[in-house]
């Protein structure tokens, strides 16, 4: 595994819910041809596939809707397995991997590195809490995502600040964090993103 993807770049894309991670990842895919893996999308896809793994996850996600911290813990191993499977499927053909919404906790990052490899960049998509709430409420009008409602959004934000800020601090220590200002319009944010990625090449 580590062998096959050793030439591919691994980028962690981290930021609060609604900060704009998915939006920026789409633009990175279009410009650089990287493979985009969103932990949330992988989970939701597994559930809608109706597989055994999906059924187990659905039960956890339903039960955990009001308890994001428990849900995070219960999904931890499965998410990493799914990311690994998806990376293996693309190993050798992908120049880079965007791991969107992961790691949520320092522990997850350590597990990832043990099983898969080291990131060369942590892209920190930063927006204010109130901005994220506004964007998610708006996204909720059309996304069909059960967790895009006001009560769950508040809990997801609390969890983000508690669990993910230490992740950023951890990778700051390694000097691989690049923060982009996601209060700006999408294209201006992407100009900052592209600068960080160009610096890797
Ligand atoms: P995440 O993947 O981090 O949860 P998304 O990329 O899905 O966030 O963005 C959440 C919502 O905010 C989407 O509806 C998206 O269109 C919008 N959005 C993302 N980035 C910006 C931005 N820079 N300015 C305004 N709206 C944005
Ligand atoms: Mg997303």
Tell which wins on pLDDT, 191 or 91: 191
Average pLDDT over the chain, rounded to an integer:
91
**CA of 16 relative to ligand 1 center, distance in Å:** 10
| pLDDT (tens digit per residue) in 61-81 | 776 566 777 777 778 788 899
Q: Answer whether 67's CB lies under 8 Å from 159's CB.
A: no
**CA of 160 relative to ligand 2 center, distance in Å:** 13
Q: Answer whether 181's CB lies under 8 Å from 126's CB.
A: yes
Task: State whether the beta carbon of 135 lies less than 6 angstroms from ligand 1.
Answer: yes
Residues 48-54 have a mean pLDDT of 92
Query: Which residue pairs from 69-75 have beta carbons closer than 8 angstroms and sit at least 24 positions apart in sequence?
Result: 69/159, 69/163, 72/104, 72/105, 72/159, 72/163, 75/43
The pLDDT, as a whole number, for residue 75 is: 80
CA 140 – CA 143 distance, rounded (Å): 5
Residue 23's pLDDT band (cuts 50, 70, 90): very high
Nearest atom (ligand 1) to Cα of 189: 23
């Amino acid at each position: 595994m580590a062998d096959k993807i050793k030439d591919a770049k691994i980028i962690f894309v981290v930021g609060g819910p609604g900060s704009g991670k998915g939006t920026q990842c789409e633009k990175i895919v279009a410009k650089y041809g990287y493979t985009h893996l969103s932990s949330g999308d992988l989970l939701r896809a597994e559930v809608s596939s109706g597989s055994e793994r999906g059924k187990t996850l659905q039960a956890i996600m339903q039960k955990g809707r009001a308890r994001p911290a428990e849900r995070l813990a219960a999904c931890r191993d499965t998410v990493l397995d799914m990311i690994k499977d998806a990376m293996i499927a693309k190993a050798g053909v992908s120049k880079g991997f965007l791991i969107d919404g992961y790691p949520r906790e320092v522990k997850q990052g350590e597990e990832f590195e043990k099983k898969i490899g080291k990131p060369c960049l942590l892209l920190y998509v930063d927006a204010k809490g109130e901005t994220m709430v506004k964007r998610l409420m708006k996204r909720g009008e059309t996304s069909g995502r059960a967790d895009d409602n006001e009560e769950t959004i508040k809990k997801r934000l609390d969890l983000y600040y508690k669990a993910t800020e230490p992740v950023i601090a951890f990778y700051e220590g390694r000097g691989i964090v690049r923060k982009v200002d996601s209060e700006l319009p999408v294209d201006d944010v992407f100009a900052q993103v592209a600068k960080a990625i160009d610096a890797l090449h």
